[in-house]
Amino acid sequence: MAQHDVVIAGFGGQGVLLVGKMLAYAGMRENKEVSWFPSYGPEMRGGTCNCTVVISDRPVGSPVVQHPSAIIVLNLPSLDKFEPLLRSGGLLCVNTSLIHRQPRRDDVRVVAVPANDIAIELHNPRGANMVALGAYVGSTGAVSERVLEEVIQETFAGKPGLVEANLQAFRRGVAIGRGESTQEVTA
């Protein structure tokens, strides 16, 4: 049985819930069982925010995961909160643009993702979440990159200028997740 569970965490306004939904939609497209479980503080934009996504070949017993196999953290408070919960041997994707301390765990695989820096370089400052999502997908293969690209195209269809910008951000993240060069990745 293959199951991928991930906590995506940051602050409100970083698009944490959006990329969680997109990941869940991609899993559904692949005929997987999925759950998406959001959690956010009362402040919304600027407050704490996270979601748990489970993608599985079998029915998902609970959307709540005590010790996820992967965590994507976009800010320092999220790293502080969720790093201890990560399963031993799990994947920790860290947004090194905003997190300037090393992870404390040595029993997990760390993927350093300068998500905000790449998003700014691509002239898409709000695309850091797409870079981080790409790094997760590139590292795990939880869903097909092609299917997730289709979800990105559909999600931003009403804003055509954002489609290509977010695809570029996602592809840069995928390259990082695969351990490839972080240089420009083109379509």
Token pair listed for 114: 């300068």
Q: Which residues of the chain have pLDDT under 70?
A: 1, 41-46, 181-187
- Predicted pLDDT at 153: 97
* Residue 184 confidence (pLDDT): 41
Q: What's the predicted TM-score (pTM) here? A: 0.93
Instruction: Classify residue 151 as exposed, middle or buried by CB count within 10 Å of its CB (0-12, 13-18, 19+).
Output: buried
Whole-number pLDDT of residue 44:
54
Q: The tokens of 55 are what?
A: 């993608």
Q: Which of 6, 7, 22 is nearest to 162 (CA)?
A: 22
**What's the topology of domain 3-176?**
Pyruvate-ferredoxin Oxidoreductase; domain 3 (3.40.920)
Q: Which residues fall within 8 angstroms of residue 171, CB to CB, at 6 or more apart?
A: 134, 185, 186, 187
Phi and psi torsions of 7, nearest 5°: -105, 130
How does pLDDT run across 30-77, given as a tens digit for each residue?
Answer: 999 999 999 876 655 567 799 999 999 999 888 889 999 999 999 999
- CA-wise closest residue to 77 among 99, 105, 96: 99
Helix (H, G, I), strand (E, B) or coil at 177: helix
User: What pLDDT, on the 0 to 100 scale, is given for residue 183?
Assistant: 44
Report CA torsion sign: 52, 113, 137, 173: positive
Q: For position 55, what pLDDT does the model report?
A: 97
Q: How many CB atoms lie within 10 A of CB 60?
A: 17
Locate the domains of the chain by residue range.
3-176
Cα–Cα distance for residue pair 98/119, rounded to 1 Å: 13
